[in-house]
Amino acid sequence: MATEGEYESILCVKPEVNVYRIPPRASNRAYRAADWKLDSPDWSGRMRVTAKGKAAFIKLEDKISGELFAQAPVTEHPGIVVETVSDSSRYFVIRIMDDNGRSAFIGVGFGDRGDAFDFNVALQDHFKWVKQETEFSKNAQLGDTGPKLDLGFKEGQTITLNIGQGKKRDKPRPQSAGGFGLLPPPPGGKMAPPPSSGTSNHNTVTQTGSTVTGPH
C-alpha cells in the first residue's frame, strides 16, 4: 500500500463511466456483461486512476463536484481487483473497498473501446514499472551483501615493477669538433680565426702547411 507522504500521480482520467450492480458469481466461470442491466446503470460519473508509491487506486467520482463515490486499491495487475468479462472488452469487474476494509464487487463499463483500452494500459504500465523497481532494488541489495574483491596488500607482500626494461636507451650523440658541442663545424673543415683584440700583442693561427704571424 501507499506510504504517508508519498506523491500521488494521475495515470488516467475518463470523464464517462457507468457502474452496475452485478449478481454474485455462483461458479468459477467468467463474468458476462450480458447478465447485467446495461441499459440501466446504477451510477454514472468519471473515473480517475492514480498511483501513490507502488499502489494504484481506481477512483469513481462525481463529474461536477469530484466527490468520491467508491475506490478500489490495486496492488497487482492482473489480479482479483480488476477482472475482464468474457463477452466484451468495454466492461470490467472491480473490487471496491471502504475505509473499514469492507469490499464489494461492481461492474464498470465504458461507452468507447478506446477508453477501456486506456484504462487497462494505464494499470499495466504502472505495475510494469513496479516490477522493474522491485528487481532493481533486489539487485542493489545483492550487490551490497555479495563478496567483495580485496585488492589490498597482505602483510609482507611485495610487488616488483619493471619500468623501461624493454626499451633501449638512446645513445648519446657525439659532440662536434668545434669544441662547443652545439654548433656544427664550418664548411670545408676549416675554422675562421678569432677576431683581433686591441689588448693582444701576438696572435698566431696555424693552417695547413703554413704559419701566419700577426703584427706586434
Q: Residues 39-53: pLDDT tens digits?
A: 999 999 999 999 999
Q: How many CB atoms lie within 10 A of CB 174?
A: 7
Q: What is the pLDDT of residue 7?
A: 86
Q: Residues 58-105: pLDDT tens digits?
A: 999 999 999 999 999 999 999 999 999 999 999 999 999 999 999 999
Res. 148 pLDDT band, cuts 50 70 90: low
Q: Residues 7-60: pLDDT tens digits?
A: 899 999 999 999 999 988 877 788 999 999 999 999 999 999 999 999 999 999
Q: What is the pLDDT of residue 189?
A: 53
- Report all structural domains of the chain as residue ranges with CATH numbers, in order of start: 8-139 (2.30.29.30)
Looking at per-residue pLDDT, the higher value among 151 and 55 belongs to 55
What average pLDDT does range 162-175 have in this prediction? 57
Q: Contact 89/113 with Cβ under 8 angstroms?
A: yes
In angstroms, the CA 196 to CA 189 distance is 22
**Which range, 75-79, 119-123, 189-193, is most confident?**
119-123
Indicate if the pLDDT at residue 179 is higher than 80.
Answer: no
Residues 6+ apart with CB under 8 A from 189: none
In angstroms, the CA 59 to CA 69 distance is 8
